[in-house]
Amino acid sequence: EDQVTQSPEALRLQEGESSSLNCSYTVSGLRGLFWYRQDPGKGPEFLFTLYSAGEEKEKERLKATLTKKESFLHITAPKPEDSATYLCAVQTPSGGGADGLTFGKGTHLIIQP
Amino acid sequence: ETGVTQSPTHLIKTRGQQVTLRCSSQSGHNTVSWYQQALGQGPQFIFQYYREEENGRGNFPPRFSGLQFPNYSSELNVNALELDDSALYLCASSPRPGRGDGYTFGSGTRLTVV
């Protein structure tokens, strides 16, 4: 069974204080790893896709990296508007369908001014 | 270009009742997936529809069923509601199956079963 574990569950940072969120996975064949951002009362918003170990993607203050066992979402000099829950998901051949994603529980990030 | 629209936004039902949730997919998207997100959890895959046929299913019982219409909109039906069905139900559309990075999620329907 595919498993995705995110840590920490919650993280509180000061504005400008850089940090990293972790997503470790155990899957039978990875087709893709995805990072989403979810604001309260909203659906997840797509951030990045990573397909192979060593791959990196960047967008503004966010950078996602991938190894064979885990992914990191690095947040550089965060601002209060970066506060959200960050979800990691994997897509595998056994994902229950053409592309049923398996999500972690998320990391609830709070950036204090 | 419109996004994914879900209705209703909130719903309260009694245990044992049936419920229908609706989703209008983003323009140009022919694939719709449904997810259940319990409080404090990540979304869980229920099923996916592509060209009006169920294209894959997660670990949910048969009382969770769906439809997709010729305009690619979709319904999620849940029979014999249980208290544990209380959750945020998310619909996601994509241009085609097999591309998780093509997902556009709606804001969800918050279902409370009492």
Residue type, B109: T
How, if at all, do strands A32-38 and A45-50 pair?
antiparallel
Residue B114 is predicted with a pLDDT of: 98
Residue B99 is predicted with a pLDDT of: 67
- Considering only CB atoms, B45 lies closest to which of A42, A43, A100, namely A100
Judge residue A50's burial from the number of C-beta atoms within 10 Å of its C-beta, 0-12 exposed, 13-18 middle, 19 or more buried: buried
State the Rg of chain B over Cα.
Answer: 13
Separation between Cα atoms, residue B114 and residue B79, nearest integer Å = 14
Q: Could you tell me which chain A residue has the CA closest to the CA of B40? A: A105
| DSSP single-letter state for residue A100 | -
Q: Helix, strand or coil for residue B102? A: helix
Going from the C-alpha of B20 to that of each of A16, A85, B23, B80, the distances in angstroms are 45, 28, 10, 12
Separation between Cα atoms, residue B36 and residue B88, nearest integer Å = 6
Average pLDDT of the residues of chain B: 93
**Average confidence (pLDDT) over B75-103:** 90
- Considering only CB atoms, A99 lies closest to which of B90, B99, B105, namely B99
**Average confidence (pLDDT) over B82-103:** 88
DSSP helix, strand, coil percent of chain A (3-state; round to 5): 5, 55, 40
Judge residue B35's burial from the number of C-beta atoms within 10 Å of its C-beta, 0-12 exposed, 13-18 middle, 19 or more buried: buried
The pLDDT tens digits of the residues spanning A28-78 come to 888 899 999 999 989 999 999 999 999 999 999 999 999 999 999 999 999
Asked whether the beta carbons of residue A98 and residue B92 sit closer than 8 angstroms, the reply is no
β-pair partners for A60: none
Report the residue of B4, B5, B32, B35 to disrupt the A interface, i.e. the one with the largest count of A CBs within 10 Å. Answer: B35
A residues 2..41 contacting B (CB < 8 A) = 4, 6, 31-32, 34, 41
B residues 5..44 contacting A (CB < 8 A) = 31, 33, 35, 40-44
The pLDDT tens digits of the residues spanning A67-111 come to 999 999 999 999 999 999 999 999 887 555 556 789 999 999 999
Asked whether the beta carbons of residue A89 and residue B100 sit closer than 8 angstroms, the reply is yes
Asked whether the beta carbons of residue B101 and residue A46 sit closer than 8 angstroms, the reply is yes
The pLDDT tens digits of the residues spanning B31-74 come to 999 999 999 999 999 999 998 999 889 899 999 999 999 999 99
Going from the C-alpha of A17 to that of each of A14, A64, A77, B17, B43, the distances in angstroms are 5, 17, 5, 49, 29
Asked whether the beta carbons of residue B43 and residue A87 sit closer than 8 angstroms, the reply is yes
Asked whether the beta carbons of residue B58 and residue A97 sit closer than 8 angstroms, the reply is yes
β-pair partners for A107: A86
